[in-house]
Structure 1
C-alpha cells in the first residue's frame, strides 16, 4: 500500500489500495438493502449514515449494515467498477490501534480478512475491507454441526490466529459474529473486526476489559491481554459449534462473570471425543497451561496433547455432595445450572421412578443437609406430590437458584421467548418442534407461568398467564358459535379447533400440535406485535381467496380489528381456497365433458354431411318417375284433345275447338319436374344422411314392396319428424290432396274444351305444392335437428 495524504482530512496519513481509483460521477445505483446483508440483511429503509467526504468521492453508499458494534458502524459501499466493500466507521471517541494498522498489510493469511484501506476522515477512523455476502459464522450455527465441519472450522480459525499472533496482534474479541463466511461449501472462514485488537511487545499486558462476555477468557475480567485469550475464545466457538448451544444461554451478566471467576467451563457435552479433547484443551482456566498454536497443530495432525486439570476450585471430598452426571455438587446454584443444561436426563433421573428410585433418595438426603428450612415445603408440597417429573424438577430448580432466568424443559421462558413457540410448533421439521409443543402444553395444563414468575426476570409471566387464559376462553366461545352457524361448511369445524386442555377440547376438534394455543400465548405476551402479525395474516388470507365465497365473505366482514376473529379468518382461509379450487376443478371437468359431447356431435355431423352425395343422387333418381308422369300426361292430353285440321277436336263424340300444343305441354312438364326435383335435391343436400331412403314417395315404396309400413308411418318418415318428434308428416296430406285433384282434373279435362289449359294449371300448381311441402319438411327437420343437438350437448 502507498501512504499518501488526503486533502480535507487534516493531513492524517491514509493507506490506500493502489488498485482503487477515484470514481467518476456515474455511481452505480444502490441495490435493494435487503440483499446487502452481512449476516442478517441490511437495515430497511436505507442508510441513516453518510460516508466521509474523502470516501464519498470514490464509493457509492449501498446500505447501512445492521451488524453494529459499540465502537463502530458498518456501511456497504460500491466502487465505480461494481466491487463491493464494507466501510467500518469508528464512532467519535474511539480510535483504532495505529500499530495494528501498520501490521495488517503485512498479514498474508487466507483466513484473516483483507483490509483494503485504513485512514482518518471527518474526525473518524475508518477501515475498508472486502465484503463477505455469506454473512458470519453465526448463520451456520442453527444446531450441532458434524465433527468434520467443526474440525475444519477450528483448523481455519487456528491458522488465522497463528497469522495474527505471529504479527504480534491479539484479536481480543473473537466470536462467531467476527468470523465471516466467504464460502459455505466448501467452508472458507476469515477472522474480521480488529477494532479491539492490540499489538503486544511483551507476552502479557493489561488493558481495558472491553470484550464480548460469553466468549471472554477468565483472565480478561482483570484486563489481562495475551494470545491465550484468543485461544480460549476459539475453544468457546468450538464448543458451541459441536453442541449447538451458545455459552451461558439465559444467564445474566452477573451470573456469567461469577461463573468465569469461580468455575470452569466444561466440555463434557461435546459428543465427539476428538472435538471434546480440543475444547477441553482450549478451555483450560490457567492461560499458561491452555492449548495454543503448538498443541492445536498437534491435535490437527492426529495427536492428543495433555489437558491440564483445572485446580481453580478444590475437589469435593469423596462421597460429599449430590451425585449427578459423574460429578458431585455442593453448591445450589451450580447444581441448578447443571439441572437446566441436562433437563431431560435430570427429570427422569431424580423423579422418573418416584419415591422408590435411588436417585430420589439421594436428592432427599442431600436436601436434608441444606440449612434452608424452606426445603420442607419444597419436598412435601411439590417433590412428593402427584406432579409430572418435569414439573417437580422446575420447583427444585427454582428453590435451588431463583436468580436464574425462568427455564422449563431446558428452554428459557422469559416473556420475550414466548412468541417464538408458536412458530416452532408450526414447523414439524424443526429440531425444537417437539420441545415447543411439550412446553406449550405444560405451561397451559400445569399453569407453570405462575411458577416461572418466581424466577428472576419472570415477574410478568403471571400477568401473561391470566391474559392467556382469558384469550383461550374467548376463542373457544367464538369458534363454538362459528361451528354452530348454518352458513359455514362442515369442513370448517376441523380448522377451528378449541384451544386449551382436555377439559375444553372435548367440545371440538383437537388443537394438535398446539399452534393455536401458543398463538394465543404470543398474543398475551406481545399484544401489539402479535396483533400486527395476525392482521397481516388475515389480509393474506383474504387475498388468497380469489373468487367470492359467501360464508368466507361473511366471516371477513365480521372480523373487523378483533385479533381473535382475524385469527379465525386466517385459519378458515384454506377451506375457502379448497372450495374455490373445487369450483375450478368442476368447471374444468364440465368443460372437458362439453368438449367430448361437442366432439361426438361433430363426428355425427361429419357422418351426416358425408352422406350428402348419396342423398342427392337418391333424390334425383326417385324424382325421375315424376318427369315420366308429366310427359305421359301431356302426351295423353295432346292426343285426346289436339285440334284437327279444321281447328276442332273430338272428345267422346263431342267436337271442341282450340288446344295447347304438345311442345308447350312438354316444356311445362319438364319445368314442373325441375322444380320438384330441385326441391328434393335441396332437402337431400341439407339433410345429408338423414334424408329418407325413398324420399317422400311412400306410396311408390309400397308398390315396389320395399317396406311393409303403413301409409301414415311412411309419410311421417318422409317428413323427417318421425325419428325425433313422433308427429305425423305432411306427405299423406300432400298425396290425399294432389292425387284426387289430379284425377278430377284429368276427368274434367277429358270433358271440356279447356283440357290443355287445365293441365297447364296442374303443371304449375303441383310443383308449387311440392316445393311448399318440401319447405315444411325441411323446417320440421331443422327443429328436430336443433333439439337433438341441444340434448346431445346438455
Structure 2
C-alpha cells in the first residue's frame, strides 16, 4: 500500500498560530521499532518522518503471521505520541468497512503508538492521474464516486470524519480498463465525533489545502462530515476536468481562493458530472450534498443544487499595493509568477523597459519581510531587485520566478517540467513541434534545469542537466567512432542522420532524464529483424555496446541506413544466385545445342577451309601450266600446298569444335567471313551506281593483279599467306571467346562492388547470360 505521511499542521508561515511543535523522541525513523524488531522484518521504507507530526511508514513481513500468511507484506505506521491518531477512530477502523483501510493491530512501541494495516498496492489515484493525464471518462469517474461514496458513508455512519480525502490517500489496489478498485487510507487526521455530540467540534488545522472545504480552511477548523463531501467534489472535478480547479500552489493563496470564489468547473463538460460537482462544492455546509444526495445521483436522480456563490469566508484585507499587469491587479507573488511564466513574451516586453523593471522592483520590496520568508530569501530578493537595473536574461528571469513562486510546479514559459511533462516535451520536440523545439533549445543554451531543481516536480533536474551536457559533449566523438573505416557504406546519409539538431538534443535530454527506460526503448528501437536481410557488422557492433547509451542512440538513428544497406546486400546476393542458376541452366542447354549442331558446324568449317584452299590450288596449277614462274618456285608451292591445306582444315575444324554451335557460324567462321566478302562488291555496285561499279572494278583489278603476280612470280605465297593469316585469326578468335566467356561467368554486382571499393576502372563488356553476343569484328 502506498501511503503518505499523516497530514500535519505546520504553523510556519501562517499567521495566527503558535509554534508549539514537540521534539522528536522516536529513536529511529527508518527502521522497525526495537520492541517490534523480533517480530517484523523490514522490506521497504515507504516514508521517513521529516517532522514529529509525520508517521514513519514501513513495509514489513510478520514472522509470526498473526493476521495472514507471513509472506504477505503489511504496512506499519509508527506515530509520535503527540500526534497519535484518534483512539476511538482507530478502534472503529479495526472492523470491516467497505473501501476503507482496516487496522489489523494497534499498540505502542518504544513509547509511541503504532498501527498495522494490510498493503493494498503501490499506486495511488494521484500516481494513476500522472500516468493517465487528461480528463477521465464519465463511466470511470462514476465508478470512483460509487466506491468513495460507500467508504465515506461507512465512516460517517460510525461518526468518523476523515478530513483528508485526496488522491494521494486513495490507493488503487487493482487497475482494469473499465474499473478502478479503490481503498481510502491514511486516517491519521480522522476524528470521531461521538454519538452524543451533535455540534461541530473545533479542531486544529489539518488537511491538504487544495481539497479543504471553506469551513475547514479557517484557522480553527469546523469538523463535520460535510468537509469530506467537499473533498470528494474536488477529487471528482480534478478527474472529470483533467486538472485541479484551483491553479494556485501556495497555501495562503489557495485558501484565499477557496474562501472567496467558487471552484472553476468550466473543464467539467459532462452534464451529470457537472451537477455532482456543483452539489458537492457548495460553500455553505448546510446546502452541500451529502450521502443521500450522492446516492440519489448514482441512482440517476437529480437532487436540487443550491445556487453558487452563496456564503463564504472572507479573508482579511490585503495591505500589499497591487501590481498591474495585463489589465489585472496582483497582490501575491505566486499569482504574478504564474502570469509571468505563462505570458512570458508580454513579461519580457515589460522588463525590457527600464520603467517596467523599476515598477516591479519597487513592488517586490513589499515582500522583504513577508511571513514565511527567511533571511536568505530576503538577501536573494535584494540581489534580484538590484539586477533589475538591466533587462534580465533567461537564468535571471527564472531565478526571479523561483523566488516569487517557490511552490509552483517546475516550469518555464508555461510548460511544466516535472518528469512526466519533460518526457512529453522531448517527444514533442522530436516530432517537430515548434514551441517544444524552442523550449529545448532554450534549456540547452542557458542551462535552466538546475535552477528548477528546487521547485516541486523539479527534484533531480540538476543531475539531468549534468548527464545531458555530458551526452552532448560526447556526441561528436561517438559519431566519429561510428563513421570510421568499416562503418556504414552510405557515409553521407549516415552523417546527416547523426548531425547535431534540436531533435537530437531532445533525444539526449530524454536519455539523461530517463536513462534506464530510454535505454530499454533504444534497445527495442534498434533491434534487428531477420526479414530485413543480413545485419551489417558495423550495426551489430553498435547494438552490442549496451553500456554505451550514445552508441545505442546512434544505432536507433541509423537503423534505416542499416536496413537500406542490408536490402542492397540481399539484392546483390539474390542477383548472384539468380545469375549462377541461370548460367548453369543456360550452360546445360548450350551443351545440348552444341552436341545437336556439331555436324552442321563441322560442315561449315569444311566449307570455309575448301573455299580458302581451292583458289590457291587452282593458281599453283595455272602457274605450272603456263610455265611463267620459276620451276623451283612452282615445286616449292606444290610442296607447301598439301601441308598448308592440312593445317587450314585442322585449324578451322578445331576452332569450330572449340567455339561450338551458335557461336562459330556465321560470326566466327571462314565461310561466314568469305560469303559476305564476296557479296559486298556486288551490293556496292548495285547500290551506288557508277561510283559503286568503279570501286568494285578496282577491287577486282587489284585481286587480279595479285593473282597474276602469284602465278608469274611466287605461287607459294598463296598457301603460305593463307596459313599464317588463318593461324593468327584462329588465335584471335580463341582468345576473344575466352575473354567473353570469362566475363559472362563473373557476377556483375561483384564487379560493381569491386569498382566501388577500388575506384573507377575501364568499362569492360559483360555478357550476363547465355552465349556471347555476335561480334563480327572479333
TM-score (norm 1): 0.51
Distance 1:432 1:92 in 2: 51
Out of 58, 70, 74, the position equivalent to 1:73 is 58
Equivalent pair of 2:73/2:119 in contact (CA under 8 Å): yes
Q: Report deviation, 1:589.
A: 1.6
Distance 2:126 2:450 in 1: 37
Structure 1 residue 90 corresponds to structure 2 residue 77:
yes
Distance 1:322 1:283, change over 3 A: farther
Could you list the per-position Cα deviations for residues 309-362 of structure 1 after superposition, in whole angstroms to 9, with x for gaps in the alignment?
A: 353227999xx978999x96452336426626xx64x558x679x89xxxx9xx
Out of 404, 409, 427, the position equivalent to 2:413 is 409
Distance 2:535 2:237 in 1: 54
Distance 1:333 1:585 in 2: 61
Match of 1:234 in 2: 232
Distance 1:294 1:420 in 2: 39
Distance 1:381 1:474 in 2: 31
Structure 1 residue 267 corresponds to structure 2 residue 280:
no
Match of 1:158 in 2: 149
Match of 2:426 in 1: 426
Match of 2:164 in 1: 173
Matched ranges for 1:510-529 at <5 A: 510-512=501-503, 514-515=505-506, 518=509
Q: Secondary structure of the residue that 1:233 maps to in structure 2?
A: helix
Q: Report deviation, 1:231.
A: 1.9
Q: Report deviation, 1:87.
A: 2.3
Distance 1:512 1:128, change over 3 A: closer
Distance 1:167 1:333 in 2: 43
Distance 1:420 1:706, change over 3 A: farther
Equivalent pair of 1:290/1:308 in contact (CA under 8 Å): no
Equivalent pair of 1:116/1:130 in contact (CA under 8 Å): no
Distance 1:82 1:460 in 2: 38
Out of 666, 683, 691, the position equivalent to 2:595 is 691
Structure 1, gaps ≥5 residues long: 1-36, 41-46, 499-509, 609-686, 728-779
Structure 1 residue 312 corresponds to structure 2 residue 334:
no
Distance 1:263 1:270 in 2: 20
Q: Report deviation, 1:163.
A: 2.7
Distance 1:714 1:119, change over 3 A: farther
Match of 1:681 in 2: none
Distance 1:70 1:572, change over 3 A: same
Out of 565, 568, 589, the position equivalent to 2:571 is 589
Q: Report deviation, 1:161.
A: 1.5
Distance 1:408 1:516 in 2: 19
Match of 2:496 in 1: 494
Equivalent pair of 2:542/2:552 in contact (CA under 8 Å): no
TM-score (norm 2): 0.52
Out of 177, 185, 189, the position equivalent to 1:193 is 185
Distance 1:169 1:281 in 2: 22
Q: Report deviation, 1:485.
A: 8.5
Structure 1 residue 572 corresponds to structure 2 residue 554:
yes
Equivalent pair of 1:483/1:493 in contact (CA under 8 Å): no
Matched ranges for 1:2-401 at <5 A: 64=44, 70-74=55-59, 87-91=74-78, 99-100=88-89, 103=92, 109=98, 112-113=99-100, 115=102, 127=116, 129=118, 131=120, 136=125, 138-141=127-130, 142-146=132-136, 148=138, 149-181=140-172, 182-196=174-188, 197-201=190-194, 202=197, 204-205=200-201, 211-212=207-208, 214-217=210-213, 219=216, 222=220, 225-245=223-243, 251=249, 255=252, 259=256, 266-268=263-265, 270-272=267-269, 274=271, 275=273, 278-279=276-277, 281-284=279-282, 287-288=285-286, 290-297=288-295, 301-306=301-306, 307=308, 309-313=310-314, 329=329, 331-333=331-333, 335-336=335-336, 339=339, 344=342, 346=343
Distance 1:85 1:222, change over 3 A: farther
Q: Secondary structure of the residue that 1:309 maps to in structure 2?
A: coil
Equivalent pair of 2:429/2:440 in contact (CA under 8 Å): no
Distance 1:541 1:273, change over 3 A: closer
Distance 2:467 2:659 in 1: 78
Equivalent pair of 1:281/1:291 in contact (CA under 8 Å): yes
Distance 1:288 1:423, change over 3 A: same
Structure of higher RCO (CA pairs closer than 8 Å, 6+ residues apart): 2
Distance 1:484 1:129, change over 3 A: closer
Q: Secondary structure of the residue that 1:88 maps to in structure 2?
A: strand
Q: Report deviation, 1:593.
A: 1.6
Equivalent pair of 2:602/2:653 in contact (CA under 8 Å): yes
Equivalent pair of 1:597/1:792 in contact (CA under 8 Å): yes
Distance 1:483 1:404, change over 3 A: same
Q: Report deviation, 1:186.
A: 1.9
Match of 1:12 in 2: none
Match of 2:715 in 1: none
Q: Report deviation, 1:139.
A: 1.2
Match of 1:441 in 2: 441
Equivalent pair of 1:724/1:784 in contact (CA under 8 Å): no
Distance 1:119 1:547 in 2: 63
Q: Report deviation, 1:171.
A: 2.7
Distance 1:39 1:225, change over 3 A: closer
Distance 1:146 1:429, change over 3 A: farther
Distance 1:104 1:493 in 2: 66
Could you list the per-position Cα deviations for residues 408-441 of structure 1 after superposition, in whole angstroms to 9, with x for gaps in the alignment?
A: 323456xxx5x77763333239999776544333
Structure 2, gaps ≥5 residues long: 5-29, 49-53, 368-380, 614-647, 666-734, 751-778
Between 222-231 and 711-720, report the one with greater CA deviation.
Answer: 711-720
Match of 1:668 in 2: none
Distance 2:747 2:602 in 1: 30
Distance 1:591 1:482 in 2: 29
Q: Report deviation, 1:187.
A: 2.0
Distance 2:432 2:179 in 1: 26
Q: Report deviation, 1:90.
A: 3.0
For the aligned residue pairs, the C-alpha RMSD in angstroms reads: 7.0
Q: Report deviation, 1:305.
A: 0.5
Equivalent pair of 1:135/1:180 in contact (CA under 8 Å): yes
Match of 1:600 in 2: 582
Distance 1:579 1:471, change over 3 A: closer
Distance 1:602 1:87 in 2: 76
Could you list the per-position Cα deviations for residues 509-559 of structure 1 after superposition, in whole angstroms to 9, with x for gaps in the alignment?
A: x4247516857xx97xx9xx97x99999999999989977679979999x9
Matched ranges for 1:708-787 at <5 A: 711=649, 715-716=653-654, 719-722=657-660
Q: Report deviation, 1:52.
A: 8.1
Distance 1:408 1:171, change over 3 A: same
Q: Secondary structure of the residue that 2:313 maps to in structure 1?
A: coil
Q: Secondary structure of the residue that 1:267 maps to in structure 2?
A: coil
Distance 1:689 1:86, change over 3 A: same
Equivalent pair of 1:250/1:405 in contact (CA under 8 Å): no
Equivalent pair of 1:101/1:118 in contact (CA under 8 Å): no
Aligned length: 569
